[in-house]
């Protein structure tokens, strides 16, 4: 039970991180404001949420950027990567807690072999 709760929290955090990053990217590239996303970014957001919900790793899920499966379609993957590259460094300043958690997960998943 404990791990299921933790799992849900971690998935929620990943979803929140994606939304925050998308907003930063969209505000600066597509002139959206506040909680708004342009149509393209909204579509990308919905796509990302579905991928997270269907992720086969469940509780052990790392950030999608560090995943070996790459379940995103190539086009979507490219767009998400652009968003991450732009918003990643800015996350550290604006949302350090979310950003640090994201980085920690990445380190944890480093292969040990
Ligand atoms: Zn946009």
Q: Note whether residue 52 is domain-resident.
A: yes
Give the distance (Å) from ligand 1 centre to CA of residue 101: 25
Q: Note whether residue 17 is domain-resident.
A: yes
Q: Note whether residue 71 is domain-resident.
A: yes
Q: Note whether residue 94 is domain-resident.
A: yes
Structural domain tally of the chain?
1
**Tens digit of each residue's pLDDT, the chain (113 residues):** 556 666 777 788 888 989 999 999 999 999 999 999 999 999 999 999 998 888 877 667 666 666 767 788 889 989 999 999 999 888 888 888 887 777 777 666 555 54
Q: Note whether residue 113 is domain-resident.
A: no
Give the distance (Å) from ligand 1 centre to CA of residue 19: 11
pTM for the model stands at: 0.75
Q: Note whether residue 38 is domain-resident.
A: yes
Structural domain containing residue 61: 2-108
Give the distance (Å) from ligand 1 centre to CA of residue 3: 35
Q: Note whether residue 10 is domain-resident.
A: yes
Give the distance (Å) from ligand 1 centre to CA of residue 66: 24
Give the phi and the psi of residue 38 in degrees, each rounded to 5. -70, 170
Q: Note whether residue 63 is domain-resident.
A: yes
Give the distance (Å) from ligand 1 centre to CA of residue 28: 8
Give the distance (Å) from ligand 1 centre to CA of residue 29: 6
């Amino acid at each position: 039970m404990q791990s299921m709760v933790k799992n849900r929290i971690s998935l929620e955090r990943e979803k929140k991180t994606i939304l925050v990053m998308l907003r930063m990217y969209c505000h600066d590239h597509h002139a959206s404001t506040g909680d708004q996303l342009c149509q393209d970014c909204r579509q990308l957001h919905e796509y990302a949420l579905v991928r997270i919900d269907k992720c086969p790793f469940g509780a052990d899920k790392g950030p999608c950027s560090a995943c070996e499966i790459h379940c995103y379609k190539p086009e979507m993957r490219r767009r998400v990567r652009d968003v991450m590259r732009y918003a990643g460094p800015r996350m550290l300043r604006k949302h350090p807690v979310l950003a640090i958690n994201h980085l920690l997960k990445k380190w944890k998943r480093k292969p040990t072999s």
